[in-house]
Structure 1
Amino acid sequence: MIDMKARTKQFTINSSYLCNKLPTTREFNAYVNQLIRCSSSVGANYRASQRAKSTADFINKLKIVEEEADESSFFLEIILEINKNQDLKFEIEKLLKESNEILAIVEASLKTAKNNLNKK
């Protein structure tokens, strides 16, 4: 079984580590700030979803995780495109793969939760 709470937390941490290695130019700073914000929101909101008070509340919280994971993927794609440091390419690609996997898992969970809600 996948421990999504730990996985989303690790995604947040790994995104932070990557951001620390990127150049401190005006352009990178804008993308780094956005990536830090949305990647940390993935972990925080997934954690909050586990304390949901109802299925509808769970769905609402997971929708935020979905949105923030997708946004993380977007900023990782931008960083990958503008990055000139080949040493970081693999790390960025690995994080991008992880954000897309988290997104897919969350989308599947949302589908299941919505189906369960409709059965009630």
Structure 2
Amino acid sequence: MPTGIVRTEFYTRMTPVTWWDYPVWAVSAVLIGLVAATYVRAGGSATTLPDRSGRTLGATLLSAFAVGCPVCNQLVVAVVGVSGALSYWAPVQPALGMFSITMLLTSLYVRLRGLLSCPEPAHGW
């Protein structure tokens, strides 16, 4: 809802949604879900997988900044102003979206590689 991609009565986006907002939003959501799923283990056992939670959190926030309304983002407006948000921030948003997806893919790859290289030991319990 804070990105304004889906129209709601609670929030109105000030700039139109671009065509690339939808794929970045959808791919990011799927990748965030997949990475989050690697933190859930059946039976509650813990393994020593590489922790990429900081990278995942950063990529999640970056994807929200990438698809969000540049004028509605108060942090960006506070730093560069409304004209700067439209002139400088908006053109960079597609690159931010691709970078966030790359970070999420890397995080997922490292987590899955850890699952394969550190299988859970078999217990006879």
TM-score by length of 1: 0.42
Q: More helix by proportion, 1 or 2?
A: 1
User: Of the two, which has the highest radius of gyration?
Assistant: 2
